[in-house]
């Protein structure tokens, strides 16, 4: 085996030339930025905003602590917000669930009722900033819509996004304990609702970051992403939503590993594939439906627990790749990623990295600076071909529901995890400080103290929630949950208004999720055995 | 596999079956990458892995360890939750008379945390950078298969 292949295994030549890319195909295969097929970028060069939205992943502890974190990040010059829930919140468990107790607020913010969202967004200019959420979409859209209205902000002006992860969440890190049909419905309903009520908000943010950061390569990442995008599009069309009513707010949140040119080419290929699929297969005509926004997180998996300072360098290289690819938003996974959600120090370093790249390096002045490179164009073509072929191959094996239920996707994720581990073990994937150039643990001290500082679980949330359950109008909360159940039983109804009503009545996300699971034939507590055992 | 038919506590057959290891995650920790990699590593080394997956609390781990008759309990730790579960787990294992030693592995385990865990009675901890051969050798030793024929010699602290 030679070293001459990309991280996803595409063979590489020592040098590329005119035989590798035919410039006469410029108009059909590239086009200028802002022109079909949008390989060079979704927007025309030179006009309007230059650069990207700079944001760092935030959210820890209770909503008040996270709100404080938002204000600190905005004060440091962050231009958008990016919030993730703690593990129970993302799994739709209330903090008083037996499984949740030691995980409350440690890896994200704990949110389970409307009061929490009120506190989370307190004092933020909702009409002027973009709010990106790695949180359960149906509940975020309902809560954000409610809080905006309470504050006199028209939901139609809200900007930002929420990740949709219905197909793969059970097999990766976002398990909900819900059947496929319910997961898909929650996505479809929230996207359809937002298309009407929050038309500037990207309610359809395909998240290929989280599915791929267990070890999928760039081709697998985007193939699975497109399988989910295409599946959700078909489901929305089947619900009678017109393609150009929601497709302008499809965006993709991708991963960025260490292979600089492959990641750039992947993003360019993704924009082109998206445009072609939306145009040729789904009949979209609005140019905004064809020109997909791409946001990115730099790969947490590429970072190391050893010599954490090296992760600053990795994040910089990855962010440069993303800037060269012309993405719309960047989040750099911080140097303490292997141990914890970002510390204030790590946030600051990552944000300053983005600012230096943006302001000092001149990379924002010219759009798609690698366009026309024999190598990058050849790699873009090859990635597009491989991603498209894998999408067709997966779709030929069955619909997403049966592939998910049969364990097809789970096997794919597990195979990738094993492959990645072998590549690190064998040294095939070099990792400085891990499989080469290691230092002794006792000498590995730089930034160590910051990295290992822990967040205690916010167990006070349990008592707060008990108090909330006691003080609310139990009759009203119960009636709102019954209404949500009735709504869920009607396949033509949209769940979002019923969730908005239930939030207003003081119901919690855990309670709502329980009702939804029951209607779909699952156990109300997806982790019921644990309640008895605990 | 004939060994699976052997009674889990059948000491006479102990040396004849492969080392059995329970692998799982605690609480809400959903980062399976490490657990999947270690499962592969141990299977490649000829061990039997009972993969319990995610969302486990100490009582379930103890029950599975007893039901499956494992030699070693391995827990993958990619959140800090393990710090809060270890006391309860070790107490549960003692109460139920389960001798299988507990091994923790994961990138979040610092050397200081590893020492604290070993003081509580955890048999071994593998932090970031743990070497594959060392993991296999330690588990073999903890299962009493390091070739000295003395069986399980790692009950210190439990």
DSSP string, A183-248: HHHHHHHHHHHHHHH-TTEEEEEEEHHHHHTTT--HHHHHHHHHHHHHHHHHHHHHTT--HHHHGG
Strand order in the sheet with A130-134: A53-54, A329-331, A293-298, A250-256, A201-207, A159-164, A130-134, A80-84, A57-58
Q: Is the pLDDT at A216 greater than 50, yes or no? A: yes
B83-102 as b/e: b if 16+ CB within 10 A: bbbbeebbebbeeeebebbb
Under an 8 A CB cutoff, do B112 and A452 touch? yes
Q: Is the pLDDT at B14 greater than 60, yes or no? A: no
Q: How confident is the model at residue B147, as a pLDDT?
A: 55
Nearest CB neighbour to B111, from listed A86, A107, A441: A441
**Quick one: pLDDT band at residue A529, thresholds 50, 70, 90?**
low
Task: List, in sequence order, every residue forming a beta bridge with A358; answer none if it has no partner.
Answer: none
3-state class of A285 per DSSP? coil
Measured between beta carbons, the chain A residues lying within 8 angstroms of B54 are 175
Measured between beta carbons, the chain A residues lying within 8 angstroms of B108 are 305, 338-340
Measured between beta carbons, the chain A residues lying within 8 angstroms of B36 are 414, 417-418, 421
Does any CB of chain A come closer than 8 Å to the CB of residue B128?
yes
Q: What tokens does A16 get?
A: 């590329």
Q: How far is B21 from chain A (nearest CA, A)?
A: 18
Q: Is the pLDDT at B16 greater than 90, yes or no? A: no
**Quick one: pLDDT band at residue A452, thresholds 50, 70, 90?**
confident
Q: Is the pLDDT at B69 greater than 70, yes or no? A: yes
- The more confident residue out of B34 and A287 is A287
Q: How confident is the model at residue A349, as a pLDDT?
A: 97
Q: Is the pLDDT at A211 greater than 60, yes or no? A: yes
| Mean pLDDT estimate for chain A | 95
- Top mean-pLDDT range of A2-16, A39-53, A125-139: A125-139
Measured between beta carbons, the chain A residues lying within 8 angstroms of B57 are 98-99, 530, 533-534
Does any CB of chain B come closer than 8 Å to the CB of residue A457?
yes
How does strand B124-126 pair with strand A80-84? unpaired
| Mean pLDDT estimate for chain B | 85
Under an 8 A CB cutoff, do B37 and A417 touch? yes
Q: How far is A340 from chain B (nearest CA, A)?
A: 8
Q: Residues B109, B76: contact at Cβ < 8 Å? A: no
Give mean pLDDT, residues A414-422: 92
Does any CB of chain A come closer than 8 Å to the CB of residue B133?
no
Under an 8 A CB cutoff, do B27 and A418 touch? no
Give mean pLDDT, residues A253-276: 98
Q: How confident is the model at residue A449, as a pLDDT?
A: 83
Nearest CB neighbour to A414, from listed B36, B60, B80: B36
Q: Is the pLDDT at A532 greater than 50, yes or no? A: no
Predicted confidence (pLDDT) per residue in A98-118, tens digit: 999 999 999 999 999 999 999
DSSP at A62:
S
- The more confident residue out of B108 and A268 is A268
**Quick one: pLDDT band at residue A475, thresholds 50, 70, 90?**
very high
* C-alpha of B138 from chain center: 10
Q: Is the pLDDT at B2 greater than 50, yes or no? A: no
Q: How confident is the model at residue B6, as a pLDDT?
A: 41
Task: List, in sequence order, every residue forming a beta bridge with A293; answer none if it has no partner.
Answer: A251
Q: Supply the ipTM of this predicted assembly.
A: 0.88
**Quick one: pLDDT band at residue A2, thresholds 50, 70, 90?**
low
Distance CA A336, CA A284 (A): 42
- Annotate A437-495 with DSSP letters as a single string: S---GGG--TTHHHHTPPPPP-THHHHHHHHHHHHS-HHHHHHHHHHHHHHHHSTTS-H
Q: Residues A304, A433: contact at Cβ < 8 Å? A: yes
Segments in A29-113 forming alpha helices (H): 63-75, 87-90
Task: List, in sequence order, every residue forming a beta bridge with A296; answer none if it has no partner.
Answer: A254, A330
Nearest to A126 by CA among A198, A234, A203, A46: A198
Predicted confidence (pLDDT) per residue in A281-309, tens digit: 999 999 999 999 999 999 999 999 999 99
Q: How confident is the model at residue B156, as a pLDDT?
A: 35
CATH superfamily membership of A49-363+374-441+446-451: Methylmalonyl-CoA mutase (3.20.20.240)
Between vectors from CA A519 to CA A515 and to CA A523, what angle results, nearest 5°? 70
Residue partners of A17: CB distance under 8 A and separation at least 6: A374
Q: Is the pLDDT at A448 greater than 90, yes or no? A: no
Give mean pLDDT, residues A399-412: 96
Q: How confident is the model at residue A50, as a pLDDT?
A: 75
Domains and CATH numbers, chain B: 17-142 (3.40.50.280)
Domain locations along chain A: 49-363+374-441+446-451
Q: What percent of chain B has pLDDT over 70?
A: 82
Q: How confident is the model at residue B149, as a pLDDT?
A: 40
Give mean pLDDT, residues A130-145: 98
Give mean pLDDT, residues A32-44: 97
Task: List, in sequence order, every residue forming a beta bridge with A133; answer none if it has no partner.
Answer: A83, A162
């Amino acid at each position: 085996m030679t070293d001459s292949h990309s991280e996803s295994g595409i063979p590489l030549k020592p040098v590329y030339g005119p035989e590798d890319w035919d410039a006469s195909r410029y108009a059909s295969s590239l086009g200028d930025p802002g022109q079909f097929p949008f390989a060079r970028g979704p927007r025309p060069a030179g006009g309007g905003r230059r650069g990207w939205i700079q944001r760092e992943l935030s959210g820890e502890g209770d909503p008040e602590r996270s709100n404080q974190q938002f204000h600190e990040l905005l004060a440091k010059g962050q231009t958008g917000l990016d919030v993730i829930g703690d593990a129970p919140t993302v799994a739709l468990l209330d903090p008083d669930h037996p499984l949740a107790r030691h995980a409350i607020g440690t890896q994200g913010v704990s949110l389970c009722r409307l009061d929490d969202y009120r506190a989370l967004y307190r004092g933020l200019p909702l009409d002027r900033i973009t709010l990106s959420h790695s949180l359960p979409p149906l509940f975020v859209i309902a809560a954000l819509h409610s809080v905006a209205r309470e504050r006199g902000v028209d939901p139609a002006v809200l900007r930002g996004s929420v990740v949709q992860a219905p197909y793969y969440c059970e097999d990766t890190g976002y398990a909900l304990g819900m059947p496929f049909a319910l997961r898909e419905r929650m996505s479809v309903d929230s996207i359809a609702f937002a298309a009407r009520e929050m038309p500037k908000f990207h309610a359809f943010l395909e998240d290929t970051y989280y599915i791929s950061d267990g070890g999928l390569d760039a081709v697998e990442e985007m193939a699975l992403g497109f399988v989910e995008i295409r599946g959700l599009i078909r489901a929305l069309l089947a619900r009678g939503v017109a393609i150009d009513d929601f497709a302008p707010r499809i965006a993709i949140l991708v991963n960025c590993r260490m292979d600089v040119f492959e990641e750039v080419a992947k993003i360019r290929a993704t924009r082109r594939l998206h445009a072609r699929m939306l145009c040729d297969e789904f009949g979209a005509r609005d140019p905004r439906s064809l020109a997909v926004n791409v946001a990115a997180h730099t790969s947490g998996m590429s970072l190391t627990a050893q010599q954490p300072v090296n992760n600053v360098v990795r994040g910089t290289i990855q962010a440069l790749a993303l800037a060269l690819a012309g993405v719309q938003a960047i989040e750099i996974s911080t140097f303490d990623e292997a141990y914890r959600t970002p510390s204030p120090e790590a946030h600051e370093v990552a944000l300053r990295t983005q600012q230096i790249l943006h302001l000092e390096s001149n990379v924002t002045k010219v759009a798609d600076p690698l366009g026309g490179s024999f190598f990058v164009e050849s790699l873009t073509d090859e990635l597009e071909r491989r991603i498209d072929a894998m999408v067709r191959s997966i779709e030929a094996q069955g619909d997403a529901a049966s592939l998910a239920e049969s364990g097809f996707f789970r096997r794919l994720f597990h195979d990738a995890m094993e492959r990645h581990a072998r590549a690190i073990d064998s040294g095939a994937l070099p990792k400085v400080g891990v499989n080469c150039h290691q230092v002794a643990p006792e000498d590995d001290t730089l930034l160590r103290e910051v990295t290992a500082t822990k967040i205690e679980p916010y167990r006070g949330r349990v008592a707060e929630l008990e108090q909330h359950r006691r003080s609310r109008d139990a009759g009203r909360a119960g009636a709102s949950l019954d209404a949500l159940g009735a709504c869920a039983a009607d396949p033509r109804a949209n769940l979002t208004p019923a969730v908005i009503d239930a939030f207003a009545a003081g119901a919690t996300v855990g309670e709502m999720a329980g009702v939804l699971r029951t209607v779909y034939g699952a156990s109300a507590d997806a982790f019921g055995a644990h309640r008895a055992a605990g | 596999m004939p060994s699976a038919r052997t009674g889990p506590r059948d000491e006479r057959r102990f040396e004849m079956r492969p080392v059995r290891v329970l692998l799982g995650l605690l609480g809400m920790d959903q980062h399976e990458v490490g657990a999947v990699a270690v499962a592969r590593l141990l299977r490649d080394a000829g061990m039997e892995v009972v993969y319990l997956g995610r969302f486990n609390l100490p009582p379930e781990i103890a029950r599975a360890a007893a039901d499956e008759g494992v030699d070693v309990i391995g827990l993958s730790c990619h959140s800090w939750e393990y710090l809060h579960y270890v006391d309860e787990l070790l107490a549960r294992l003692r109460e139920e008379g389960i001798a299988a030693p507990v091994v923790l592995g994961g990138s979040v385990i610092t050397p200081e945390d590893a020492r604290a865990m070993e003081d509580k009675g955890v048999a071994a901890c593998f932090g970031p950078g743990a070497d594959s051969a060392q993991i296999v050798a330690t588990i073999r030793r903890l299962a009493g298969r390091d070739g000295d024929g003395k069986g399980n010699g790692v009950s210190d602290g439990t």
